[in-house]
Structure 1
Amino acid sequence: MPPADGTDHTAGSPPPLLRIVRGNPTDEEVAALVAVVAARGAAAAGVNRAADRRQRSGWADHARGVRGRHLPGPGAWRASAFPA
């Protein structure tokens, strides 16, 4: 017996993402609607990810600790204290 809400999906499958309740759209119209809804959802997710990403301060940036090797030679002691 189908559920009371009119859907006919099985218990193992997820409910449909789109349901046409009125009219008789063509396959092309349904495809266009799905493309627009998917694009809007992807754009909204991208905005949320960009907003969640915070700017890392210079002190917390791990790349700050990466530097070139110190080579022995004249003035090498300066490079150990005053990197270029």
Structure 2
Amino acid sequence: MSDEPATPDPPRPPLLRIVSPDATPEEIAALVAVFASLGSAEEPPPRRTPEWSAHHRKVRTTHAHGPGGWRSSGLPR
């Protein structure tokens, strides 16, 4: 670590600057609302696959073979 104090980041320029002096507050609010609705560069989170449609639930296991196999087919696994 250094003994120098942390320097604050320089202030960033404004994202929106009004050039026309005759803009009303309603027009400025409308512009800000439009730019705010455009969103950010973030990607939406990936879609989750519901568990009820998962592939492993579609595949059935085989029934037990041999004596008593029909009886064990009704038991939970």
Q: Give the TM-score of the pair, scaled to structure 1.
A: 0.39
In proportion to residue count, which structure has more helix? 1
Q: TM-score, normalised by structure 2?
A: 0.42
